Amino acid sequence: MAEQLTPMEMAQSQLKAAAEKLDLDKGVLEMLLEPQRVVIVRIPVKMDNGTTRVFTGYRSQHSDAIGPAKGGVRFHPDVSLDEVMALSFWMTFKCGVVGLPYGGGKGGVAVNPKELSQAELERLSRGYVRALYDVLGSEKDIPAPDVYTNAQIMSWMMDEYSVIRRYTDFGMITGKPIVLGGSKGRSEATARGVVVTTLEAIKKMNMHISDATVAIQGFGNAGSVAANILYNLGAKIVAISDSKGAVYSENGLDPKALEKHKDETGSVVGFLGGRDIAGGELLELPVDILIPAALEKVITEDNAPYIKAKIVAEAANGPTMPKADEILNKNGVLVIPDILCNAGGVTVSYFEWVQNNYGYYWSEDEVNSRLTEKMQDAFFSVWQMSTEYNTDMRTAAYMVAVKRISEAIKLRGWV
């Protein structure tokens, strides 16, 4: 039977494994096991029909030892306190492993945005900022897009914050449109980071991308962009799934043609260039690279023994359960952990914040070059830690991050 862990319990177990390897100071561990600050707010929104609905919003700030909190805001019916706490936790270590001057933050509103008009969505977005104004800002906590939020919502939030401050503050939020201080290359950044770390892993496994077969679970922004980049590098994309099912072809799929089919039909299912398979079957295909790019907790102790991929590149947050991790490691599967693999998004968000702060903006080539360098350096640090301590890549990634954060906590005199 699969493990029944909450996202927060998963995150804490991963930290404890790294802390044990490092013989971490107990005071530091206690500080990092829970967020420093969690805020719950109630947001009244005047609906188009004249009634008022009240929504619950959250913001979790896990750590500001190294810098301001950083992390997305999601609008989703299932947003909960435990979820945003765990996601802020993971963001701290994601920023730490890549060496960004941030701690982790995460927020959200329990709402189905598809049920709101554009005007109602704007009022909710502005209400979120008004309710949390005191704990947000370019030197405190910098939000970004997440599930069911986008550049338009970031624009409304930035504007509301600026209205309250009485001057425009682009740097208080990232993921904005280019004209409002957004960074070129941001929309593809998460996927590019996944590809960069995957290419580094391929080298370590003495493989070549042109010989590699790939299965991708999830065909949203990260999954589709990664599919196209890898396809253009010569990889064979043999399977792709979305929330409605999966499609497979041993001869390879053309991601662009599949995108067109999904735009026309609403799903990858029924694509003439392949045959439909069950979504769960995709995870167990005999491929070189498996990219879970959709949901949390999809690789469990039940299916992990049947995963045949040589590399699992975690584009999604928390896709692998702890006991599944043990099985994959025992079976010689190289797992590129989420806090490393999908850190490209927050890295380019950092670039956006930097550009906002000094008012000079980079070309897309420069952004992508800096991103590649950051991700390669981070992979090397984790690989070195893994080798030095003879441990798996996830534990090593946490160790890299924890060492940096622990040093900052001690230097500041908190412990």
Query: What is the domain-level CATH number for residue 131?
Result: 3.40.50.10860
Residues 208 and 306 in one domain: yes
Alpha-carbon span 87 to 106, nearest angstrom: 6
What is the structure's pLDDT at 166? 97
The pair of three-digit structure tokens given for residue 401, joined into one six-digit string: 């991050």
pLDDT tens profile 309-331? 999 999 998 899 989 999 999 99
Rounded distance between C-alpha atoms, residue 102 and residue 111, angstroms: 28
What is the C-alpha separation between 189 and 184, in angstroms, rounded? 9
Q: 241 pairs with which residues across the strands?
A: 217, 246
Q: What is the pLDDT of residue 292?
A: 96
Reference 92, options 72, 64, 73; nearest CA is: 64
E strands in 218-310? 236-242, 245-248, 275-277, 289-292
Instruction: Check pLDDT > 60 for residue 1.
Output: no
Instruction: Confirm whether 320 is domain-assigned.
Output: yes
Please, which residues bridge with residue 225 across strands?
none
109 and 235 together in one domain: no
Place of tokens 């800096």: 370
Residue 156 has pLDDT above 80, yes or no: yes
Q: Which residues are bridge partners to 15 per DSSP?
A: none
Please, what sign has the CA dihedral across residues 88, 92, 97, 100? positive
Mean pLDDT to the nearest integer, 373-395: 97
Mean pLDDT, all residues of the chain: 95
pLDDT for the residue numbered 27: 95
- The size of the chain, in residues, is 415
Residue at token pair 């005199």: 413
Are 168 and 207 within one domain? no
323 catalytic residue (yes or no): no
| pLDDT for 3 | 63
In a domain, 353, yes or no: no
Residues 197 and 331 in one domain: yes
Q: What is the pLDDT of residues 87-139, one digit of tens each?
A: 999 999 999 999 999 999 999 999 999 999 999 999 999 999 999 999 999 99
User: Cα separation of 35 and 84, whole Å?
Assistant: 10
Domain hosting 280: range is 189-336
User: What distance in Å separates the CA atoms of residue 265 and residue 288, rounded to the nearest whole number?
Assistant: 29
Q: Are residues 114 and 196 in the same domain?
A: no
Residues 171 and 39 in one domain: yes
Q: pLDDT confidence of 279, banded at 50, 70, 90? A: confident
Strand-pair partners of 320: 299
Could you tell me where the beta strands, DSSP code E, fall in 196-310? 213-217, 236-242, 245-248, 275-277, 289-292
Query: Exposed, middle or buried, 52 (CB in 10 Å: 0-12/13-18/19+)?
Result: exposed
Residue 366: CB partners within 8 Å, gap ≥ 6?
none
Confidence of residue 295 (pLDDT cuts 50, 70, 90): confident
Asked if 344 and 196 count as a contact pair (C-beta separation under 8 A), the reply is: yes
Which of residues 304, 336, 368 is at a domain's end?
336
Report if residue 369 sits inside a domain.
no
- Alpha carbon distance, N-terminus to C-terminus of the chain: 40
Residue 145 lies in a domain: yes
**H helix intervals, 311-392:** 322-330, 338-341, 344-358, 364-389
Residue 2 has pLDDT above 80, yes or no: no
Nearest one of 410, 341, 345, 411 to 378, comparing CA atoms: 341
> For the residues 130-156, what does the mean pLDDT come to?
96
- The answer as to whether 346 is a domain residue is no
Catalytic one of 21, 26, 46, 106: 106
CA distance 104 to 109: 18
Number of separate domains in the chain: 2
pLDDT digits (tens, 9 = 90+) for 281-291: 999 999 999 99
Torsion of CA 339, 9, 18, 203, to 10 degrees: -30
Asked if residue 207 belongs to a domain, the reply is yes
CA distance 74 to 84: 9
Cα distance between residue 384 and residue 400, in whole Å: 10
The whole-angstrom separation of Cα 328 and Cα 349 is: 32
Kindly state whether residue 21 falls inside one of the protein's structural domains: no
pLDDT tens readout for residues 204-243: 999 999 999 999 999 988 999 999 999 999 999 999 999 8
Domain boundary among the residues 139, 158, 179 is at: 179
Are 108 and 203 within one domain? Answer: no
- State mean pLDDT over 165-182: 97
- Within this chain, do residues 323 and 227 fall inside the same structural domain, yes or no? yes
Pick the last residue of a domain from 179, 211, 228. Answer: 179
Q: What is the CATH number of the domain that holds 255?
A: 3.40.50.720
Residues 234 and 173 in one domain: no
Regarding whether 303 and 195 lie in a shared domain, the answer is yes
Regarding whether 279 and 224 lie in a shared domain, the answer is yes
Match 């005007």 to its residue by tokens.
Answer: 119
Residue 70 and residue 112 in one domain:
yes
3-class SS at 208?
coil
Q: Which helix (H) or strand (E) holds 264?
A: helix 255-265
> What is the pLDDT confidence band of residue 73, given thresholds at 50, 70 and 90?
very high
- Within-domain flag for 349: no
